[in-house]
Structure 1
Amino acid sequence: MIRCLIVDDELLVRELMEDNIRQVPFLTLIKSCRNAIEAATIIHQEHIDLIFLDIQMPKLSGLEFLQTLNTPPLIILVTAYEQYALEGFNLQVVDYLLKPFGFNRFLQACNRAQELFSAQNNLRSKKNRPDHFFVNVEYTLVKIVIEEITYVEGLKDYIKIYLSSSAKPILTRMTMKSIEERLSSFSFIRTHRSYLVASDKITTIKRDFVCIHDKEIPVGESFKERVNELLNARGS
C-alpha cells in the first residue's frame, strides 16, 4: 500500500483528489493539507510514500517545499500552470497533473508511481538480503556465495551445491525443502523434485531439460508448466 499526502490550497481540488485516492486500491490517504507548512509537520510525524503536490501556494510554493526535503518521497505535481512542467521534471517528479484533470489521467499518474514504488522496494530488498551463507561440510563451515550457485541436486537428506567457481560440488546434510526456502528470494527454479536451478544461469531449454552450458538438468513432468511460466515471465 502506498501512503499518500495531498498538499493543495484549493478545497475543491483536495476533495477531488481525496475521492480519487479512495478509488485506487493500492493508495491510502494519510492526510490532506492546505499548505506546505502543514505538510512539513506531517512528513516529520508520518511515513509518506507519495505526495500530490500543488505548486502555487501561499508562503511556500510546492517547488520550494520540494527543494527543502533531503530525501523526498515520490512526487506528483498538481497545478494549473503548464510552464512549471520542465522545472518539475528536472526535480525528478513522477508525473505532472494539469488542472483540471479527469480520473483516467489521475490513475495513469498513480500507476506510474506504483511502478517506481515497486522498483524502489525491490532494490531495497536486494540490498538488504544476504549474498552468502555457510554450510557444514565434514565438521567445517564452508561459505557459499549465492551468486556462484548454478544448481542444487538433492540426494535424500543431503544436497550437492554446484558452483561456477568450483569444479567439485559441495556436499552437505540439508533437505531440498530447506535450501529452496533459503534461496526463495533469489532467482531459482525447482525443475524437478531433486533439482533447483539458478534461472539466470540457464543457457538452453529443451523439451525435458534445461541446460547450463553442456550440463543437462531434468525437468519433471509435474514441474514443466511452472518452469515454462517462470522462464517466460523473466524473459518478457
Structure 2
Amino acid sequence: MKLRCIIIDDEYLARQRLLKLVKPYDEINVIAECKNGAEAIEKIHLKEPDIIFLDIQMPDMNGFEVLTKLKVHPYIIFTTAYDSYAIKAFEVNAVDYLLKPFDEDRIRIALDRAFALKKEKKEAHIEGRIKKLMQAYEAKTSEFLSQFSIQNKGRETTIFIDDIVYFKSDGNYVRIITDEKTYLYRKTIRSIHENINPEVFLRIHRSLILKKTYIQDTKYLGNNTYQFQLKNGELLTSSRTYKSEIAIYLSETRL
C-alpha cells in the first residue's frame, strides 16, 4: 500500500528535512514539493496525492486557506512551529499536527496513523463492494421461483426448488420430478422455464429442464445431441434446438 505524497513548505531546508525523514518508508512516494500555497493548490489538483505535509504559515496564504480551495481531499499532516493552530487543525480532520522541530519517531507516529486510515478506508470500500454484489445477487435470485405450490384433492403441497431433479412436459401439465416423488403441475414448461434460475437449471429439450447439480455425466451422441445421465441413473436425450445452451453449460463445467 503506497501513499502518494506532496510536501508543502515555504522553507527549502524544512522541505529537505521532511524528504530525509520519509525516505526510509517504501510506502511513501513523494511526487512533488511546493514552496507556497498557490503552487500547492495547482500540484494537488494535478497529481491528486493521498497525503500532504502542509506548513501553516506561508507568505501568500496559510495552510487552512489552501484547504478551502481544494477540490480533492488528501490526508493532511500539518507541520508548523506554532502550537496555537492545533485545535483548528483537528477541526479540519487532520491526520496529525507536527510541531517543528520534529524527529523520526514523531514522523513514524503520524505516518502510522495515515496508513491505518488508508487501510480502514480500503477495507470499508471492499466491504461496500461485497455488500453491493450480495444485494445485486439477492435481487437477481429473488426474481426466480424458490418453490411450487400444488393443489391436489383440496390439499396444498409445497415443492422446494432445491428438491427438484428435473421438469418434464406432459401435455397441458408439467411433471415435477424429485428424488422421492413425481408431481403433476398444471402449467406449461415454457412458463416454468421463464421463472426459474438459468444458473441452476438447464433446458436440453422443449420438454425437459434439468437441475445442473443432478447431472452425473454427459455423452455426445452426434448430430448436436447429447445424452445426460442423472445421479439417479436416468438417461435423458437433448434436442438440437438447445445445442447452444448445452455448449455453454459444458464449457462452464470444464473450467
Same-fold status (TM-score > 0.5): yes
Contact in 2 for aligned 1:4/1:31 (Cα 8 Å)? yes
**Deviating 4+ runs (over 3 angstroms):** 134-139, 171-174
Q: CA deviation at 1:25?
A: 2.1
TM-score by length of 1: 0.57
CA distance in 2, matches of 1:76, 1:65: 13
Contact in 1 for aligned 2:45/2:71 (Cα 8 Å)? no
Q: CA deviation at 1:66?
A: 1.2
Matched residue, 1:96: 97
Structure 1 unpaired stretches of 5+: 144-170, 175-236
Matched residue, 1:197: none
Give the AA of the match of 1:13: A
CA distance in 2, matches of 1:31, 1:46: 8
RMSD: 2.5
Q: CA deviation at 1:71?
A: 3.7
Q: For 2:73, what is the secondary structure of its paired residue?
A: coil
Matched residue, 1:141: 197
Please give the per-residue CA displacement for 1:90-147, whole angstroms capped at 9, x wherever unaligned. Answer: 111000000000011011100001101111122222223312436797762289xxxx
CA distance in 1, matches of 2:212, 2:56: 61
CA distance in 2, matches of 1:109, 1:142: 53
Matched residue, 1:50: 51
Give the AA of the match of 2:134: D
Q: CA deviation at 1:69?
A: 2.1
CA distance in 2, matches of 1:120, 1:28: 19
* Residue 27 (1) aligns with residue 83 (2): no
CA distance 1:141–1:4, shift in 2 (3 Å): same
Alignment of 1:21-170 (within 5 A): 21-129=22-130, 130-132=133-135, 133=137, 140-141=196-197
Q: For 1:82, what is the secondary structure of its paired residue?
A: coil
Q: Which has the larger radius of gyration?
A: 2
Bigger shift: 133-142 or 48-57? 133-142
Matched residue, 1:15: 16
CA distance in 2, matches of 1:172, 1:81: 70
Give the AA of the match of 2:53: F
Contact in 1 for aligned 2:80/2:100 (Cα 8 Å)? yes
Contact in 2 for aligned 1:24/1:107 (Cα 8 Å)? no
Alignment of 1:133-212 (within 5 A): 133=137, 140-141=196-197, 173=213
Give the AA of the match of 1:87: K
Please give the per-residue CA displacement for 1:184-219, whole angstroms capped at 9, x wherever unaligned. Answer: xxxxxxxxxxxxxxxxxxxxxxxxxxxxxxxxxxxx
Contact in 1 for aligned 2:40/2:66 (Cα 8 Å)? no
Contact in 2 for aligned 1:51/1:75 (Cα 8 Å)? yes
Contact in 2 for aligned 1:8/1:54 (Cα 8 Å)? yes
Identical counterparts, % of pairs = 34
Alignment of 1:206-225 (within 5 A): none
Give the AA of the match of 2:65: E
**Pairs aligned (count):** 147
Structure 2 unpaired stretches of 5+: 145-160, 167-192, 200-210, 215-255
CA distance 1:128–1:12, shift in 2 (3 Å): same
